[in-house]
Amino acid sequence: EAGVAQSPRYKIIEKRQSVAFWCNPISGHATLYWYQQILGQGPKLLIQFQNNGVVDDSQLPKDRFSAERLKGVDSTLKIQPAKLEDSAVYLCASSFSPDPGNTIYFGEGSWLTVV
Amino acid sequence: KQEVTQIPAALSVPEGENLVLNCSFTDSAIYNLQWFRQDPGKGLTSLLLIQSSQREQTSGRLNASLDKSSGRSTLYIAASQPGDSATYLCAVFYNQGGKLIFGQGTELSVKP
């Protein structure tokens, strides 16, 4: 079974530039998550989708971050304009449903460095 | 505030040693608690999931315990091996809020 796919794996941009990350979840998984993990910290949930609807985006900095999952499958996370403090790993994850008993599967992450 | 704390932040042990990683959480009203492993440059892999009604879970050399009343969980690794070197993250699914809250992780290094 294919896992959660993310691209690009690594990206270096200058501050005030924009960047987009793509995620393809495990087939059949209705729930998709984007997490931000700053070096030395645990992942923090940015946004959670159920199919193509947003369930929780309370910690998404909406002035610069946006995310979409138009057809309920793939998702894109965009940052515009980027700040130095956005340097982090952006982890995409998926699960069959939002039921807390379901296993959440993580991708390998997209590593962003803002200089 | 719903928080998860892991101590220590880093741990180095010789191969073969038994070790314990600690996790504490601020609210006993939880659905479950999970332990994840993260290798450098990789995503997270779920190791053990303990439901709120359970006291412990075991998988191979790993044993995780849960004490909701004290807000604590431990991950016990028996006979550690260099391949166990990784960051171990504890995450709690609180009843209120509906999302996983992660600790900051413990970076484990097992020396041959």
Which of A42, A98, A105 minimises the CB distance to B104?
A: A42
**Distance of alpha carbon B112 from alpha carbon B104, whole angstroms:** 26
Decide if B2 touches A, using CB distance below 8 A. no
CA B83 → CA A86, B86, B87, B105, distances in Å? 31, 8, 12, 17
Q: Which residue of A has its CA nearest to B30?
A: A100
> Per DSSP, what are the bridge partners of residue B5?
B24
Identify whether the C-beta of residue B60 lies closer than 8 Å to the C-beta of residue B77: no
Cβ neighbours, 10 Å, residue A46: 20
Decide if B59 touches A, using CB distance below 8 A. no
Looking at the complex, report in whole angstroms how far the Cα of residue A71 sits from the nearest Cα belonging to chain B: 23
Decide if B32 touches A, using CB distance below 8 A. yes
pLDDT tens-digit map of A56-109 = 999 999 999 999 998 889 999 999 999 999 999 999 999 998 888 888 999 999
Identify whether the C-beta of residue B104 lies closer than 8 Å to the C-beta of residue B9: yes
Give the distance from CA A21 to its chain's centroid.
Answer: 7
Identify whether the C-beta of residue B52 lies closer than 8 Å to the C-beta of residue B32: yes
Interface test with B, best of A37, A48, A94 (most B CBs within 10 A): A37
- Which of chain A's residues have a Cβ under 8 Å away from the Cβ of B93? 100
Looking at the complex, report in whole angstroms how far the Cα of residue B26 sits from the nearest Cα belonging to chain A: 16
Give the distance from CA A77 to its chain's centroid.
Answer: 6
**Distance of alpha carbon B88 from alpha carbon B74, whole angstroms:** 11
Q: pLDDT (tens digit, 0 to 9) for every residue of chain B, 112 residues total?
A: 889 999 999 999 999 999 999 999 998 899 999 999 999 888 899 999 999 999 999 999 999 999 999 999 999 999 999 999 999 999 999 888 778 899 999 999 999 9
Identify whether the C-beta of residue B41 lies closer than 8 Å to the C-beta of residue B86: no
User: Cβ separation of A45 and B99 shorter than 8 Å?
Assistant: yes
pLDDT tens-digit map of A21-63 = 999 999 999 999 999 999 989 999 999 999 989 999 999 999 9
Outline where DSSP puts E strands in chain B: 4-7, 10-14, 19-25, 30-38, 44-51, 56-59, 62-67, 72-77, 86-94, 100-102, 106-111
Structure tokens at B54: 């359970």
Structure tokens at B101: 């809250």
